Chain A
Amino acid sequence: MADNLFTISGLKLSLPDMTRKPVFGAAPQIEILKGIDFQVPRNAVTGIVGESGSGKSTLGRAMVRLLEPTEGTIVFDGLDLTHLGENELRPHRRNLQMIFQDPMSSLNPRRTIASIIAAPLRQYGLTDNIDGRVKEALDRVGLPQSFAKRYRHEISGGQRQRVGIARALALSPSFVLADEIVSGLDVSTQAQILTLLERLCRELGLTIAFISHDLSVVRRLCEQVIVMHNGTIIEKGSTKAVFDNPQQPYTRSLIDAIPLPEPDPLWLAPDAS
């Protein structure tokens, strides 16, 4: 279908289990993704939710081809990425950008903010008017121009995450992977970053895969959602449908476990299950 940016079918991925590696010889393979099928529509935010160990980050990393799948196919914008080598991938990488969870460790401490945002531009040879492009990128994420000369330790956590977003959007990519990008932030900062993302999606028509364990955030931001558990997709659909009427008991239990900021003495009462 033309309106899907990603089509992923039968995706399996195994990694070596280093905890069971013999001293000599190869580590046994452990299957992290066990057959994943889903599509990412254009100009929309797709949520990928699940608990730790469900494989949501591995799936994200396979999509941007930081990992190579064992089986199945990943078709991105009509192009089969599944087994492309690093040199073949390079021209496409500018369209597959990432925003990371921890903006502290994902920003180079020895470079200025301007130089960090300019790095992807330089990589792809967009060196004309580079200062102008950096200015524009700072503007877009609501950071003052004076930040261009600062270093990562001179700005707050929320501002760092804005830099991460500015860098990811510098090349106007057709796809952005956002892996737990608000989970390290305070609620007040988180609200700012979510509001910013919502505005950017509206203005730029971004296509985002938003990996998160926080279902309230996903309900807020994403048009559609996939729920992962143990390397498989348990449930997928429009966010509204999945939340209002979950079909699977696992999805139900995930939603029920969210503590809403409303006092409720019964919430902690032992239930029948």
Chain B
Amino acid sequence: MFCLRHLLRAVVLLVGFTATAVAGPYEDALPKFSAGSYSETDEAIGAVASSGHPMAQAVIEALQDGRLLAGNGQVFIRDPSGGLVNAATGQAFGAAPADLKPVRVNNRVRRAIEAALGGLTLLSPNAGTRMEAARAVFRSRDEAALPNLDKAVGQEGDAGVKQALQEARAAILLTKADASAEDRLSAVSTLRARGDQDALALLSNLSADSPPALVAAAQQAADAVRSRLEFWSAVQNVWYGISLGSVLLLAAIGLAITFGTMGVINMAHGEMVMLGAYTTFVVQELIRTYSPGLFGASLFIALPLAFLVAGAVGILIERSVIRFLYGRPLETLLATWGLSLILQQGVRTIFGPTNREVGTPAWMSGAWEIGALSLTYNRIVIVVFAFSVFAVLLLVLRYTSLGLFVRAVTQNRRMAGSMGIRTSRIDALAFGLGSGVAGIAGVALSQIDNVSPNLGQGYIIDSFMVVVFGGVGNLWGTLVGAMTLGVANKLLEPYAGAVLGKIVLLIAIILFIQRRPRGLFALKGRAVEA
């Protein structure tokens, strides 16, 4: 028997395995699997895992999958094709002994398996697998993984994986009472560098009867991690705020043009946003029906269409209603409110009152990890998009003749008129531009909000707050207004809750308007007084 085993061992060496030739802990442990007791199985797992034997991983994986068979002190692995492999030798085994039974596992054993695999896959040739394993060990903090861990750290080439390995090692060492004080202290600093919620939990849960120096160091590190986490949570709130701010910016920027240039309060502005969202819906429906391959590009197709649809409706509204009401802002407010009711009911009649499904293209799903943050792609896209729309609009107003005329009309309508600018045409175009931008906003908002006939209603008060807060007739004011309100809203939320935060903000704006009735960036001078 002994002879045979040596022979087999030699064969194994020949095929390239690096194990030692003597009967080691691995061989000694294997028979325990056949004992049929959970605690022996548990012990066997520990021993196999820490043996460093090349078959160790295969054995434990087989155990996990119920493919490890044992009987009469012998252990076999059934490979997926049904063939049997002797676990001790690694050799295919033609005829199986009759009384083989799968090794039973219970929850405790399963945990041991997971921990052991975590330790074992640390040495996998695949970097991704090693990373997973390192994380698993970090979570399980299984001391049995320590030898493999040490080995893995020593030979790891990938910096990211190496760091994960070291962190896992630190997690184990920190609580390992018999580890050297030096190791444990350096574990504290490794965890401190990791600096996330898990590290904080480890550091702050260190038992008080540990050496005082260690406790003090852990305490200090925990504080450092805590403040780092607070910092990141502030960053996260600011990010959410910027994200909300760009939504507000998108919704309000068109309003800034119509309100700023013509002094027109367009209460139907929110419905322009809604039309943009429904345009996206229709575009996606058509794509799904006729050419599903284009789905990824659906938003790009929807953008110009939404601009045209909302812009055309805007021009129609301006020509048919608003132009008769210039100089009567309160009447304009009422008439456009009426139009908003009609548009809402129209959409409700055509598309039904329920939410419509607008899909997110694949390239917009997923998230980007940075520091302790996870930024979803659709939010990032919306932030970038909002700023791009803002920039484009700024350029249009600054460098095109339409922009020049619009600015002229904003500053002095009568003078612009007497200079030969056809103010009514500019009004219509500016209104169309503002509405079109609202339509574009609708495409973006369809990605994060419910597309329903009430979509626009949710934005109108906020948009007005942004424009009024930022100051009329100034796009920068709208930008600052939107970002301030967005960030303030999200910073208030953790303390006051979403609803109360919003109320506080509304009250703050009401008070602010009373201090500066013309907003942050108000136009000054004689023209305004008129």
Do these two chains interact? no
Chain A contacts to B: CB under 8 angstroms: none
